[in-house]
Every structure is written in C-alpha cells, then in structure tokens.
C-alpha cells in the first residue's frame, strides 16, 4: 500500500488560522511534557499559545467594528445627496449674490480659487 506524503492546506483566513492554532495549543496542553511541539527550536508554545485567545478576540472586535462602520457609512450615504444638493445650490446663490467679489464666499467657509486655469495640452 502506497502512502501519500499528505498535503497540508493552510487557509489565509485569519479567524480560521487562529481557531486552528487554538486547537493545536489545546492538544499541546493536553499532552504536556509528552507533546512533540516541545521539541521545536524556534517556537515556544508557552509564550505563543496564551496570545491566541486575545488575538482572536481582537479579530472578532475588528470584524464587528468593520460591520458597524459599513452600517454607519450606509446611514451617512442616505443623506448625502440631499445635503450635497443643498450645498451646491446655496453656494451658487451666494456666488451670484457676490458677483463682483466672489471672495466673500470665504466668509461662509467656501474656498475660492481665482487663479487662471491652465490649458490642457493636446496629445499628438
């Protein structure tokens, strides 16, 4: 009977990797001094293992905040068209009222650029 070498597939999903690390750490703790992970040269599970839980909590918090952020942006976006229209029409009216001196718009917090426009170069 031929055995394959077996290919380990490690996901790029942080949550799944943290959950897998938690399982490996738990098994390592169960085996104690008999754990083969004690023979690793560059890894000390007594240091790395306890960090898994807080890192998973940070991940879950970040995912929650991401979802909340998306909801908040959606709420913001509901009102933006109305506010943008009011803003544009108000500035247009004020600019018309200050026809000879549009720099008075600065009193309303509007930035006025009176530098001459540069001509766009034509591509040959």
The pLDDT tens digits of the residues spanning 31-90 come to 999 999 999 999 999 999 999 999 999 999 999 999 999 999 999 999 999 999 999 999
Residue 5 covered by a domain: no
Distance CA 38, CA 94 (A): 75
Tell me whether residue 48 is in a domain.
Answer: yes
pLDDT at 18 over 80: yes
Q: How many domains does the chain have?
A: 1
pLDDT (0 to 100) of residue 50: 97
pLDDT grade for 13, boundaries at 50, 70 and 90: very high
Q: Would 119 be classed as within a structural domain?
A: no
pTM, 2 dp: 0.65
124 falls in which pLDDT band (50, 70, 90)? low
> Is residue 46 in some structural domain?
yes
Q: Which domain holds residue 37?
A: 14-99
């Amino acid at each position: 009977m031929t055995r394959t070498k077996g290919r380990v597939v490690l996901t790029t999903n942080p949550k799944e990797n943290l959950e897998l690390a938690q399982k490996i750490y738990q098994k390592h703790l169960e085996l104690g001094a008999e754990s083969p992970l004690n023979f690793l040269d560059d890894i000390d599970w007594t240091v790395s293992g306890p960090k898994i839980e807080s890192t998973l909590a940070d991940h879950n918090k970040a995912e929650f905040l991401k979802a909340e952020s998306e909801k908040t942006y959606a709420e913001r976006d509901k009102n933006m068209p109305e506010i943008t229209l009011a803003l544009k029409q108000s500035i247009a009216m004020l600019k018309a009222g200050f026809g000879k001196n549009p720099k008075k718009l600065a009193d309303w917090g509007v930035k006025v650029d009176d530098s001459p426009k540069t001509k766009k170069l034509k591509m040959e």
